[in-house]
Amino acid sequence: MAKVPALNRRGSRYFVRIVIPDDLQKVYGKTRVNPALGTGDYREATLLATIKRAEWGAEFEAKRSELAPSAIDAVTPELAALLAERVRAFVLADDDRVRSDLPLLAEMVHIRRELRRRDANPLLIPQWDLPEPRIDDLSGATAEERQELEGLNAYLDGKAAIAQAGGDLRTVLPLVKAEAAKLGVSFDAKTPGARGALLACLKAYRTAHKEVTLRDAGEVVDTPVVFARPEALKPVKPRTLRDVFDKWKTSGDSARSADSIGAYDRALKQFEGQHKGLPLEGVTREIGDAYRTWLRENCATPKTARDRLTAIKSLLKYAHETLEWVPKQPWRGLDIKAPTTNKRRPWTTEELKTLFAAPLHTAYALPEARYGGREAAYWIPLLGLFTGTRLGELCQLRTADVQKVEGIDVLVLTNEGEGQSIKSDAGHRSVPIHSELIRLGFLKYVEAIKKTRGDSLWPALPLRKGKPSDFFGRWFGDHCRALGLAPTFHYLRHTVRPLMRKAGHSEGTMDKVTGHKTVGSIGTVVYDHRTLSEVQEAVEAIQYPALKLAVVGPYGA
């Protein structure tokens, strides 16, 4: 049977007696309270008393949480939004309290009046006695009281504006911590997410003080009632480097490549194998130093060890600088020295002779391997030989990218076509087609493909999404190894540049051919423009006197 609340009656109204728990009696300064129920009907009073006791029971629990708040691992966006609402409501509610407290307003005016009198006459002894209580409390504040309140609010609004302009989070930190305590939680400025929450609360604090000044001008600004939302107070699972990785792989101005995501994922899985479930805050410098030693001992090469360490360092930097989830990048400066094992160099004349003496280029024996791309296997190495263009740029060429500009046949290298990409802004360029390529029949090939086989310049070449050179690069590597050759396709870029330089062409002109970013003074970079004719002269300087290329296949002159 439900316990009947203890009711007592005073005059025509009922009250309910509520005993304050022992552990809270010092907080309230009493052992019991007797709130009025506002009714003289016993049945209604019994019902209202039950509700009132439940309300006080909830307040007791909230007070216990406030007195012993639980520290949280992170401030979620939901909790940050709730705290910002509570800060605004607190400022407006405090203003309500001041405006409704007429004796307080009268006291403010009295004290200010006495201070002004003392300033005018330092020998005068101020009269600090409180003013006579006002009998009429329906007319509200007097003109003098309103003026005094308006001045106070303008001062507070100004301080809030200065704090907002300077991002002074210390202004709201005590208030935010107090509101958090009322919700039963606690955190400090170093807690992940705290800075974002304090910024939101500072904005709400500034907004509320501005609204208070609007009240002084007669505007209606209601004080909101903010309820605690359970979802905002749910415990937060500690963040890990995996959470950082999930954010990182979808961030940035452009999409991360599949290769980059895969490399970072492999590095992270290796780290997780050593430190499973480690919270982000637990990734200390000491752990970084120990992990660096582990990588040195367990990775196949120093370069692999360095790449894995660099990936984790990049995620920590992203967590610190972009997400602001950690106060610093703890592994900054940790590194693994890895000697360069594959220094790029030009192809030698003998290596070039071996490459182009194969049946592919002497008898137009196109490969059957799918990754070779049939005609692509014949033309792409020749294009690299006479332009130094990157392999990825050549693999993604369309027939529309072969154009005549200013009377010169060129390759237009761009990222405007579907699936096309360029390494950098400098990669957008027009490269004149070498006369040797024209002699071998390249332009005839382009016209034939354009008429019969569609948009791609290499219809039989499969392109990997995000890295169009990947499949052809594998085939070319196998082709070279079968011929006993060690150089890679990229070595061709190192082959053409010295030839142009020996012919007397400037760095800027060579950059226009190869798609490198021009470095130097502002004048060199901005004002030193090169005509297409000058670039064509540089391309024609790419000569191989010892290399005799035969005209073969259906497109030869």
DSSP sequence for 84-113:
HHHHHHHHHHHHHHHHH-HHHHHHHHHHHH
pTM of the model: 0.47
- Residue 155 has a pLDDT of 87
Sign of the torsion angle spanned by Cα atoms 374, 378, 379, 381: positive
Kindly list the distances between the CA atom of residue 226 and the CA atoms of 82, 86, 172, in Å, as whole numbers in the listed order: 8, 6, 18
The Cα–Cα gap between 358 and 355 comes to 6
Tell me how long the chain is: 557
Q: What is the pLDDT of residue 422?
A: 54
Do the beta carbons of residue 88 and residue 224 sit within 8 Å?
yes
The whole-number pLDDT of residue 348 equals 92
Residues in CB range of 225: below 8 A, 6 or more apart = 89
Distance, in Å, from the CA atom of 309 to the CA atom of 291, rounded to the nearest integer, reads 8
Cβ atoms of residues 244 and 325 within 8 Å: yes
Q: What is the pLDDT of residue 198?
A: 94
**Among residues 479, 487, 485, which one has the least CA distance to residue 369?**
479
What is the rounded CA–CA span in Å between residue 41 and residue 26? 34
Q: What span, in angstroms and rounded, lies between the C-alpha atoms of 529 and 549?
A: 34
CA neighbours closer than 13 Å in the CB half-sphere of residue 113: 14
User: Beta 70-71 vs 7-10: how paired, if at all?
Assistant: unpaired
Element (H, E) at 262: helix 258-274
The strand pairing partners of 429, in sequence order, are 413
Nearest-angstrom CA–CA distance, 304 and 451: 47
Which helix (H) or strand (E) covers residue 10, if one does? strand 7-10
Contact assessment for residue 440 and residue 556, using Cβ atoms and an 8 Å cutoff: yes
Q: CA–CA separation, 539 vs 510, rounded Å?
A: 9
DSSP string, 142-187: -HHHHHHHHHHHHHHHHHHHHHHHHT-GGGTHHHHHHHHHHTTEE-
**d(C-alpha 394, C-alpha 256), whole Å:** 21
Gap between the Cα atoms of 418 and 168, Å rounded: 48
Decide yes or no: CATH 1.10.150 for domain 241-321. yes
Rounded distance between C-alpha atoms, residue 193 and residue 28, angstroms? 34
Give the residue extent of every domain in the chain. Answer: 1-68, 72-130+140-233, 241-321, 349-540
- Residue linked to tokens 């999930």: 246
Compute φ and ψ for 403, nearest 5 degrees.
-135, 170
On the question of a common fold for 241-321 and 349-540, the answer reads no
3-state secondary structure of 192: coil
Taking the domain 349-540, which CATH number applies?
1.10.443.10
Which pair of tokens denotes residue 153? Answer: 């609010």
Say if CB 61 and CB 224 are below 8 A apart: no
Instruction: Give the C-alpha separation, 45 to 37, whole Å.
Output: 6
- Provide the 10 A C-beta neighbour count for residue 480: 20
Residue 137 CB partners (closer than 8 Å, separation 6+): 102
Cα-to-chain-centroid distance, residue 556: 54
Amino acid, single-letter form, for residue 397: L
What does each C-alpha distance from 368 to 172, 397, 442, 537 come to in angstroms?
Answer: 71, 21, 21, 37
Contact 266, 113 (CB under 8 A): no
Per-residue pLDDT of the chain in tens (557 residues, 90 and over written 9) = 334 457 888 888 888 888 888 878 887 888 888 888 888 887 778 777 777 777 777 677 667 766 767 788 788 888 999 999 999 999 999 899 888 888 777 777 776 676 666 666 666 665 555 556 665 667 788 888 888 888 888 988 999 999 999 999 988 988 898 888 888 888 888 888 889 999 999 999 999 999 999 999 999 999 998 877 766 666 667 789 999 999 998 887 566 777 788 899 999 999 999 998 888 888 999 999 999 999 999 988 888 999 999 999 999 999 998 888 888 899 999 999 877 555 678 989 999 999 999 999 999 999 988 898 889 999 999 999 999 888 888 988 998 888 888 889 888 886 554 445 554 444 478 889 999 999 999 999 999 898 887 788 999 888 887 788 888 999 999 999 999 998 889 899 899 899 999 988 888 888 888 886 655 444 444 334 678 888 888 889 999 999 989 898 887 65
Give the position of tokens 């137009």: 364
